Structures are given as C-alpha cells and as structure tokens.
C-alpha cells in the first residue's frame, strides 16, 4: 500500500458520511499522521469515521462548522492549524429533485451557497495559510456534470461548473507553492445517490448500461484517485480537473 501522506495532515470536509468518509479513511491508510474530519450536523457519522481512522493508526481530529459561514470557516482554519492537504468534499446535488421542473429559488440559493460560496471560502482561507507556509495542496470535489450538464438539477451543474472557476483562479493566485485541482467523480453507490427517487425508478440500471466500465462503484474505490491530486505524485498538476467515471462522459462514445 502506498504511503503518500506519511507525516502529513489531511483535512476532508463532509467526512461524516459517504465519499468524504472514505477519503478521510484512505488518507489514514496512506500514512497521514493527522486526519481532520469535518462535519456540519453528522456528528455521529464523523465520530464513527474518526474511530476508524484511529484504528488505522492515524490521529483524528473532529472539526465542526458550516461552510456557508465565513466566520465558521475562519474558526475552522485556526483550529485545524498546519494542513498539508485539504479535500473540499462538501456539496449539494439537490438529490430530492427529480426534474428541472421542480426547481425552486430556495434550492438554487442553497446549492450555490454550498457548492460555490462554501468551496471558494474554504479555498480562500486555507489557501492563504498554506501560502504563508509555502506548501499545500487543495482538491475540490466536482462532478461529471461539469461536462454533461444536469437536466435533472441545473443548479447542481451550475454549482459544480463554478468550482472549476474557483480551482483555476486560486491555482494561479496561490502559485507556486500551493496547488489547486478538481476531482470529478461520476456516479457512486453512496447513500445519497442510492436513495434518489430517479435512481430507485430505474436510472441506476440505465447508467450502469451506459458506463463502459460496466458498473457503478462504491465510493471507497475512488478515494485513492481523489487523493492522488493531493499527493506529491501530482506535483506538476494544478488548475486542472480529473474525471473518474468509468468512461461514462467519454467524448465520442
């Protein structure tokens, strides 16, 4: 097993459940000395993730906060201290929405506040501190909707497309000591996806058929790829994005 994060501190937002929890645990498996487990309201899940991280030999630290609050983010950055790698996993996909016809102003405001405002402020505050230490890497979790769009939830596609602008802007602003990239996973068998009404209505089977790799993976299978961008193995990659979707978004397919 690769130990790409020996002696380093990794922070993952939204690490109480789903993909975030798997990324945090993978960081521990890969040797991170300290893993910061962020959560907003999923305290039980965050504590479970922290317990598993401890069993894997790393030191967990719980960090609670709302990423749509700049004051919360400043506090979290101060609490976190010296962070080598930050994975901004928190996002809102409007999972309860079946169609663009169901869109509401409240949903637009919330999705954009989380996906754009929250991501930007996390990059801003943690990036400043990394730049002062002259080292660090930030990975923003995007989505393949940045290339496909989302007729189900246009606000989700808009939010994740905005993440690309944040990534490119701060990759330039924080250079050369801090790298910023976007990791764009396709569909995963997370609880949020599996409980979506359209998934239960047969979209899961359709997506599996349309994916060249022939399956929809569990989130733990993609965690190492996400962390690749945060590792020194990706030392010359910044301002970019990497799609990991089993070929679903392949151009010309």
d(CA 137, CA 92): 23
Residue 250 lies in a domain: no
For residue 1, being part of any structural domain is answered with: no
In a domain, 34, yes or no: yes
Instruction: Give the predicted TM-score (pTM) of the model.
Output: 0.93
Tell me the pLDDT tens digit for each residue of 94-125: 878 878 999 999 999 999 999 999 999 999 99
Distance CA 75, CA 12 (A): 16
| Size (the chain), residues | 253
Q: Which of 216, 193, 13, 206 is nearest to 96 (CA)?
A: 193
Domain range for 39 is: 9-243
For residue 70, is it within any domain? yes
In a domain, 225, yes or no: yes
CATH classification at residue 17: 3.40.50.720
Instruction: Give domain status of residue 252, yes or no.
Output: no
Residue 81 in domain: yes
DSSP 33: S
Instruction: Give tens-digit pLDDT for 26-57.
Output: 999 999 999 999 999 999 999 999 999 999 99
Assigned domain for 16 exists: yes
Task: Please pick, among 39, 156, 161, 170, the residue that the annotation labels catalytic.
Answer: 156
Tokens of 231: 């590792």
Query: Rounded CA gap, 143 and 192, in Å?
Result: 14
Predicted confidence at residue 60, as pLDDT, reads: 98
Phi, psi for 185 (deg, rounded to 5): -80, 155
Residue 197 predicted with pLDDT over 90: no
**156 classed as catalytic:** yes
Mean pLDDT of 185-197: 83
> What's residue 1's pLDDT?
60
Domains contained in the chain, number = 1
């Amino acid at each position: 097993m690769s130990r790409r994060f020996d002696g380093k501190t990794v922070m993952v937002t939204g690490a109480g459940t789903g993909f975030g929890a798997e990324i945090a645990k993978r960081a521990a498996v890969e040797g991170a000395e300290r893993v910061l487990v962020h959560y907003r309201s999923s305290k039980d899940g965050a504590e479970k993730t922290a317990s598993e991280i401890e069993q894997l030999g790393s030191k967990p630290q719980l960090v609670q906060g709302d990423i749509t609050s700049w004051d919360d983010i400043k506090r979290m950055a101060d609490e976190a201290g010296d962070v080598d790698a930050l994975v901004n996993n928190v996002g809102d996909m409007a999972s309860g929405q079946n169609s663009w016809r169901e869109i509401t102003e409240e949903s637009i405001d919330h999705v954009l506040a989380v996906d754009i405002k929250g991501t930007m402020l996390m990059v801003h505050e943690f990036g400043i501190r990394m730049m002062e230490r002259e080292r660090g890497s930030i990975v923003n979790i995007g989505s393949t909707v940045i290339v496909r769009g989302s007729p189900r939830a246009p606000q989700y596609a808009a939010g994740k497309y905005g993440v690309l602008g944040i990534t490119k802007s701060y990759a330039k602003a924080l250079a050369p000591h801090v790298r910023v990239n976007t990791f764009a996973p396709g569909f995963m068998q997370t609880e949020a996806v599996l409980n979506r009404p359209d998934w239960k209505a047969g979209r899961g089977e359709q997506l599996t058929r349309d994916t060249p790799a022939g399956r929809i993976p569990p989130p733990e299978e993609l965690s190492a790829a996400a962390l690749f961008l945060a590792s020194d193995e990706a030392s010359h990659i910044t301002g970019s994005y990497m799609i990991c979707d089993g070929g679903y978004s392949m151009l010309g397919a």
